[in-house]
């Protein structure tokens, strides 16, 4: 593909890769060699969110980061379902296409359910999970989130998202604890991929899905025991204004053996505390599983 003129190749120096899907071309990053790490983004972000981690980790690992259809450098079809369920199916197609050995899966925001749907279906293919500020359950009990999502499903909500770019212009900045990390240059890289009403349909459909995909989220959570034996690192931006801290507590209750690191950052901790996130992932990758450690004695 031709590199967009707005893309800073110093910030994002990665080669472009594409997979043809029935609904459009999915763009993805595939950098480095070694054990694979797959990074899954949410909204209104794209693989650009993981650039700091990819730059560092690709020195020793193979780093793969797709852009969901409707986001980043992937196609932005205007007449297809861009639901979390559809994105999960697309991710499965990509990972089957790449035919990766056992992988580390790193998920954030809507990427949590999207990526973990793959882990639930193929737990034997997952070496470990890294979970950042996300969820994998119905949000029906979150009355405020439900009210907002149902409002966004209507005409006024769609206008806010598709015509006024509510998500990248207004919601994304709210996800930062310290706004100084959202420089004009960085913000431009989140605004430019969503520069038309059609291009913003993906972010709008995610807002609607908070309520509309409740049943799908529930079915994932009901299967969570399939993930019990997979090592987990939970990195949580504890100053998140978009997701409540109770989400972290729910993860901890479900998986008490997970390693948990709370970071003084907002929802987009990859941006605010990029080196801390990278170091935590690196340490988790270098750690020997208990069974493997036992074999040395």
* Nearest partner of 46 among 80, 12, 3, judged by Cα: 12
- State the Cα–Cα distance between residues 216 and 98, nearest whole angstrom: 26
Tokens of 172: 């994304």
Residue pLDDT, tens place only, 139-191: 999 999 999 999 999 999 999 999 999 999 999 999 999 999 999 999 999 99
Roughly how many angstroms between the first and final C-alpha of the chain, as a whole number? 52
* Nearest partner of 94 among 127, 68, 55, judged by Cα: 68
pLDDT value at 296 more than 90 = no
- Note the pLDDT of residue 287: 84
The model's pTM is: 0.96
DSSP 36-83: EEEEE--SS--GGGGHHHHHHHTTTSEEEEEPPTTSTTS---SSS---
- Give the dihedral sign, CA 74/112/31/123: negative
DSSP 70-100: TSTTS---SSS---HHHHHHHHHHHHHHHT-
Q: Which residue has the higher pLDDT, 110 or 288?
A: 110
* Distance, C-alpha 268 to centroid of its chain: 10
pLDDT value at 297 more than 80 = no
- State the Cα–Cα distance between residues 162 and 151, nearest whole angstrom: 14
Cβ atoms of residues 263 and 235 within 8 Å: yes
CB contact burial 119-147 (16+ within 10 A = b; e otherwise): bbeeeebbbbbbbbbbbbbbbeebeebbe
Residue pLDDT, tens place only, 91-128: 999 999 999 999 999 999 999 999 999 999 999 999 99
Residue pLDDT, tens place only, 206-251: 999 999 999 999 999 999 999 999 999 999 999 999 999 999 999 9
What are the percentages of helix, strand and coil residues in the chain, rounded to 5? 45, 15, 35
Residues 6+ apart with CB under 8 A from 287: 231
- State the Cα–Cα distance between residues 37 and 115, nearest whole angstrom: 12
Three-state DSSP class for 256?
coil
Domains located in the chain, CATH noted = 17-139+217-287 (3.40.50.1820)
Cβ atoms of residues 133 and 240 within 8 Å: yes
């Amino acid at each position: 593909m031709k590199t967009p003129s707005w893309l800073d190749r110093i910030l994002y120096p990665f080669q472009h890769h594409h997979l043809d899907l029935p609904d459009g071309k999915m763009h993805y990053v595939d950098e480095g060699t070694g054990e694979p790490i797959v990074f899954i983004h949410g909204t209104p972000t794209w693989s650009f969110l993981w650039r700091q981690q990819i730059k560092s980790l690709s020195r020793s690992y193979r780093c793969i980061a797709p852009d969901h259809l409707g986001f980043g450098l992937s196609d932005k079809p205007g007449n297809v379902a861009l639901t979390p369920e559809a994105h999960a199916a697309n991710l499965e197609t990509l990972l089957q296409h790449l035919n990766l050995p056992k992988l580390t899966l790193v998920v954030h925001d809507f990427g949590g359910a999207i990526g973990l749907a793959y882990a639930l279906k193929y737990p034997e293919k997952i070496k470990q999970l890294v979970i950042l500020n996300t969820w994998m359950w119905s949000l029906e009990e979150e009355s405020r989130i439900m009210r907002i999502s149902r409002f966004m499903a209507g005409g006024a909500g769609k206008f806010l998202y598709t015509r006024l770019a509510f998500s990248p212009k207004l919601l994304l900045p709210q996800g930062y604890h310290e706004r100084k990390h959202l420089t004009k240059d960085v913000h431009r890289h989140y605004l430019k991929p969503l520069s038309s009403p059609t291009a913003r349909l993906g972010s709008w459909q995610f807002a609607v899905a908070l309520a509309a995909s409740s049943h799908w989220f529930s079915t994932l959570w009901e299967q969570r025991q399939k993930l019990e034996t997979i090592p987990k690192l939970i990195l949580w931006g504890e100053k998140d204004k978009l997701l409540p801290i109770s989400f972290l507590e729910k993860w901890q209750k479900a998986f008490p053996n997970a390693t948990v690191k709370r970071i003084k950052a907002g929802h987009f901790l990859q941006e605010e505390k990029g080196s801390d996130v990278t170091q935590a992932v690196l340490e988790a990758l270098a750690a020997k599983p208990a069974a493997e450690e036992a074999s040395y004695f």
